[in-house]
Chain A
């Protein structure tokens, strides 16, 4: 089908035979839930749909549904995701499988509906698995894979499938949807670690004292550790049954003989391929590592690909204020004690700002030429008179 990514995601949800969808509209996610409700109305999708009154309630309803023992899905973005924050912790902490699409959008203020990754990165430590897609086909395939990963007995954690606002969510591209029979072979019927069971009435999520709490948190961490192999297995099984592969925890591009590498997530990583190809034509041995799974973080994979290089540039579409790009920190941590490769950070593309591949090339060239002094750059910053006036106003305050 040729369609916008939001519709493609909805059709993937249908193929996953989801039982309960609960969602609240927010730009740029809206067409996901519009398409699902239309599929239900048309009798093409057999599913309960709860048009909740907020994202906080969307996630609460999803937890309630999954606790009864059915497959549950939601979709959101930015402020909606932030509004769910408390219940993201709850869903992961009480160990329920479920899948949610998050269309990556900037956080306000000022109001900005365009793409960056600040929304999802801000939810990094909730216990959710976070996958990032770089194209329409990958979105269709990853949504289906996400249910299998989430429900795997080694994992039993919620999975967030991230893709970029507008660049992907609203753009029309070709994507092939697998047949229902193939999906049924890939994705077993819903499984979970527990459910509200009338024959075995247990109490879930109750008060837990210091004597028992750390063990619960460790079990979540161990589930994330195991999720690494489960994500890789799901990608392999998908290739075997359905015939497509987008990488496991990471996707490497022209890394075989690379001396320098870009590290990125989402649609910027697709654009980075163009930069890599162009740099190669200039004679610079560049490659790209695209992070598909941000949590669990592919530390070993990154270390294995980057440790012998001469330079690495991490592109962050987010900023951990008071520190640096989040992907940059994590990449350095993965290399710590294993490699002396210099690692640099470009923070760019915030709030939907265009990032031409030439910017990535220039940043990479500066790394390769050894001219770069600063660890972190903001290469697409351009101040105009309005920005200067605002700064002046702030400096006068008080």
Chain B
């Protein structure tokens, strides 16, 4: 699938209330193109509650149920169960996609219990977390997804903890499909949404969603910052199926040696939320910590990749 082959139909409509450069609306646009009209959407309290436009308007071209903050997994379960019932009774000819759309606050923090419950039960829906790494809708407070050293409105000298990784927590739930995505790689995201739609059970896709006002970068740079996150190794693109993780797009190219890791300082410098790491022309210690951590991750990934190649080679020859 190439970008020009995406369906032309727009289900994310004009006139939304999104901020300029909003990653959530860009992600929805691609997700809708991948899933099409036959989709029931559950929106969990997040920026998307607002950007869809207030009553009586809506920028969303599919049926939408807006729901409370902590309910993503459970509402998806209820919608999926009712859909299954109607399909069984012949009242629905084709099973619609059930899409739950939540932010990182609704996924990492208040909604993780409901998500974990649904994942353990294997309820049949796609859960997308668009992760803007803070409570952007309420004025950019820290969340469990906020990265180390980032300014938020309640971590004004930089967050002191590293973020947790819900995508890996979902892998640990043994889901049939877990993937990460980036706005800079829309075909990768599109293909992952399509694949998720073809699999039964709980599917989890997490999109890094650089937020111009929250992360403090110009609103025309959402895609640029998204790309830097992958190129610097801050954000890994992968999909996990049948117990195996495959890295994709820009991340795969770095692991396989077709592209170099870009120094993380370029990613950090592009955003005002890390400005305090570069006071008086000096780099804060925390920049080095970032780079060391990323290097360690990629050393391991490259090693595992080479090891797998060798083993496959041996298997073929043996």
Chain A bound to chain B = yes
Residues of A participating in the B interface, judged by any CB pair closer than 8 Å? 19-20, 22, 47-48, 50-54, 56-58, 60-70, 72, 86-87, 90, 94, 196-198, 200-209, 212
B197, CB-defined interface residue at 8 Å: no
For residue B114, which residues in chain A have a CB less than 8 angstroms away from its CB? 53-54, 56-57, 60
Contact, CB under 8 Å: A69 / B86: yes
B303, CB-defined interface residue at 8 Å: no
Contact, CB under 8 Å: A61 / B77: yes
Most buried by A among B56, B80, B85, B117: B85
Sampled A-B contacts (30; CB under 8 Å): A20-B85, A48-B85, A50-B81, A50-B123, A51-B121, A52-B117, A54-B113, A54-B114, A60-B74, A61-B74, A63-B65, A63-B75, A64-B42, A64-B67, A64-B76, A65-B82, A68-B78, A68-B79, A69-B82, A70-B85, A72-B82, A201-B63, A204-B64, A206-B54, A206-B64, A206-B66, A207-B49, A207-B54, A208-B55, A209-B54
B window 62-118: CB within 8 A of A: 62-68, 70-71, 73-86, 96, 113-114, 116-117
Contact, CB under 8 Å: B79 / A196: yes
For residue B221, which residues in chain A have a CB less than 8 angstroms away from its CB? none
Q: Which of A19, A60, A203, A207 is in CB contact (< 8 Å) with B64?
A: A203
For residue B121, which residues in chain A have a CB less than 8 angstroms away from its CB? 50-51
Least CB separation from A207: chain B residue: B54
Most buried by B among A65, A202, A209: A65
Least CB separation from A86: chain B residue: B68
Contact, CB under 8 Å: A70 / B86: yes
Task: Report the minimal beta-carbon distance from A254 to chain B, rounded to whole angstroms.
Answer: 46
For residue B79, which residues in chain A have a CB less than 8 angstroms away from its CB? 64-65, 67-68, 196
Residues of B participating in the A interface, judged by any CB pair closer than 8 Å? 37-38, 40, 42, 49-50, 52-56, 58, 60-68, 70-71, 73-86, 96, 113-114, 116-117, 120-121, 123
Q: Which of B38, B54, B81 is in CB contact (< 8 Å) with A22?
A: B81
For residue B67, which residues in chain A have a CB less than 8 angstroms away from its CB? 60, 63-64, 90, 205
Contact, CB under 8 Å: B71 / A207: no
Contact, CB under 8 Å: B68 / A212: no
Contact, CB under 8 Å: B75 / A207: no
Least CB separation from A20: chain B residue: B81
For residue B84, which residues in chain A have a CB less than 8 angstroms away from its CB? 48
Least CB separation from B61: chain A residue: A201
Contact, CB under 8 Å: B113 / A206: no
Distance, CA A72 to CA B49, complexed state (A): 25
Contact, CB under 8 Å: A64 / B77: yes
Contact, CB under 8 Å: B77 / A68: no
For residue B80, which residues in chain A have a CB less than 8 angstroms away from its CB? 64
Distance, CA A47 to CA B81, complexed state (A): 9
Distance, CA A56 to CA B84, complexed state (A): 22
Least CB separation from A51: chain B residue: B121
Task: Report the minimal beta-carbon distance from B287 to chain A, rounded to whole angstroms.
Answer: 39
Known: A60-B74, A61-B77, A64-B76. 19 other contacts (CB 8 A): A50-B123, A54-B113, A57-B113, A58-B74, A61-B75, A63-B67, A63-B71, A65-B79, A69-B82, A72-B82, A196-B40, A196-B65, A198-B63, A201-B37, A201-B60, A202-B64, A203-B66, A205-B66, A206-B52
For residue A202, which residues in chain B have a CB less than 8 angstroms away from its CB? 58, 63-64
Task: Report the minimal beta-carbon distance from B277 to chain A, rounded to whole angstroms.
Answer: 36
Whether A65 touches B81, Cβ cut-off 8 Å, given contacts A54-B114, A203-B66, is yes
Whether A60 touches B68, Cβ cut-off 8 Å, given contacts A54-B114, A203-B60, is yes
For residue A53, which residues in chain B have a CB less than 8 angstroms away from its CB? 113-114, 116-117, 120
Contact, CB under 8 Å: A48 / B63: no
Contact, CB under 8 Å: B117 / A19: no
Distance, CA A58 to CA B81, complexed state (A): 12
Distance, CA A127 to CA B117, complexed state (A): 28
Task: Report the minimal beta-carbon distance from B103 to chain A, rounded to whole angstroms.
Answer: 15
Contact, CB under 8 Å: A60 / B78: yes
Distance, CA A47 to CA B78, complexed state (A): 12
For residue A69, which residues in chain B have a CB less than 8 angstroms away from its CB? 82, 86
Task: Report the minimal beta-carbon distance from B318 to chain A, rounded to whole angstroms.
Answer: 47
Q: Which of A19, A61, A206 is in CB contact (< 8 Å) with B49?
A: A206
Task: Report the minimal beta-carbon distance from B37 to chain A, rounded to whole angstroms.
Answer: 7
